[in-house]
Amino acid sequence: MPETTSYSVAVLGLGAMGLPMATRLATELTVHGFDIAEPRLALAADAGVTPFGSAREAVAGVDAVVLAVRNGSQLRDVLFGENGIASTLLDGSVVIMTSTVGIDDVVAVSDLLAERGVHLVDAPLSGGPVRAGEGDLLVVVGATPVAREKAKPVLDLLASTLSVIGDRPGDGQAFKTVNQLLCGVHIAAGAEALALAEALGLDAAATLETLAAGAAGSFMLGNRGPRMLQAYDEGGAEVLSRLDIFVKDMGIVTAAARSAGVATPVAAAAEQLYILGAANGLAAEDDSAVIRVVAPNQR
């Protein structure tokens, strides 16, 4: 393994998560960056990241590539599309996949990369942009021991909690699918609870505070609840996690459940709330806006 100071990594996609991750990595590693948006490249350069004009240029000669893509289609395109990077990657290098895209796509691209001598670390993460910049992410890893060792300088800098869930690419996606089932259901349940509280004439803020102190409390209620109380304000709550992300993620959950032959009626019901929200113009709003699906005319 190269010494950390000589280790190089390319971060492709310098958006809400990619830029703070690149910034964090640049504190100790040589970091290349690429994004289709010029302003993001400028911000990356200010943070010590070397910007490049294309993804292929950015990954040339690096030890690792960090990918933060939206879905399986983007994953395949960035690796094997018309301008895909797979043919440019060094033999023995590692691709670190940080997004939630589903098991099948990750397994498929892992097999294709292996044919080229490139490792894949399936490492979906959570924690948000602020924690990404602080190296305080939860990262769940599915990868061979060899691949994990090659990715260690990157993972150590990004994760405060690193859990190796399995030795196969796809294991990380499997765990994240289970995780997102609970997250999506908890947000939807919190929205229903706060909508009911207001409909019954209770003070929503006091109700939220009291619920959080008891057995009904959860991370998602405590995190999203205050933003749900802002969802009816002009402009809504600050967008920290778009609603349409849960359209994608709950779709992954229900598809995986069908494939495994497991009934998930609660997850399926939550999925429909997010789909309805997106269909009613809330796709780009914070996912806490799902309360407006449950109670569109409240307040």
pLDDT in tens, 168-204: 999 999 999 999 999 999 999 999 999 999 999 999 9
Tell me the C-alpha distance between 231 and 139, whole Å.
30
pLDDT of residue 128: 84
**Cβ count within 10 A of residue 243:** 24
Using an 8 Å Cβ cutoff, are 143 and 121 in contact? Answer: yes
In this predicted model, what pLDDT tens digit does every residue of 64-103 receive, in sequence order? Answer: 999 988 899 999 999 999 999 999 999 999 999 999 999 9
Whole-number average pLDDT of the chain = 95
Question: Using 50, 70 and 90 to split pLDDT, how confident is the model at 5?
Answer: low
CA distance 120 to 114: 8
Residues with catalytic roles: 176
Rg of the chain on CA atoms, in Å: 20
Q: Per-residue pLDDT averaged across 109-125, rounded?
A: 97
Domain with CATH 1.10.1040.10 in the chain: 174-294
CB neighbour list of residue 210: distance below 8 Å, 6 or more residues apart: none
Q: For the domain 174-294, what is the CATH code? A: 1.10.1040.10
Helices (H), 115-230: 128-134, 145-158, 171-199, 204-212, 219-228
What top-level class would CATH report for the domain 4-167? alpha beta
Left, alpha or beta for 29 (phi > 0: left; psi -120 to 50: alpha)? Answer: beta
The tokens describing 148, both together, are 């994990």
Q: Is the pLDDT of residue 140 over 90?
A: yes
Predicted pLDDT of residue 227: 97
pTM exceeds cut of 0.85: yes
Q: What is the mean pLDDT of residues 11-17?
A: 92
Q: What is the pLDDT of residues 207-239, one digit of tens each?
A: 999 999 999 999 999 999 999 999 999 989 999
Residue 297 has a pLDDT of: 81
Distance CA 277, CA 290 (A): 6
What are the backbone angles phi and psi of residue 110, rounded to the nearest 5°? -60, -45
Residue 299 pLDDT level (bands cut at 50, 70, 90): low
| pLDDT, tens digit (0-9, with 9 covering 90-100), for 250-285 | 999 999 999 999 999 999 999 999 999 999 999 999
Count of Cβ atoms closer than 10 Å to residue 219 Cβ? 11
pLDDT > 70: percent of the chain: 98
DSSP three-state, residue 64: strand
Distance set, CA 230 to CA 143, 193, 289, 291, 299 (Å): 41, 15, 9, 10, 11
d(CA 8, CA 2): 9
CA distance 47 to 132: 14
What is the structure's pLDDT at 4?
46
Q: Using CA atoms, how far apart are residues 195 and 176, in angstroms rounded to an integer?
A: 28
Residue limits of CATH 3.40.50.720 in the chain:
4-167
What is the residue type of 256?
A
CB atoms near residue 152 (< 10 Å): 17
Query: What pLDDT shows up at residue 2?
Result: 40
pLDDT band of residue 298 (cuts 50, 70, 90) is confident
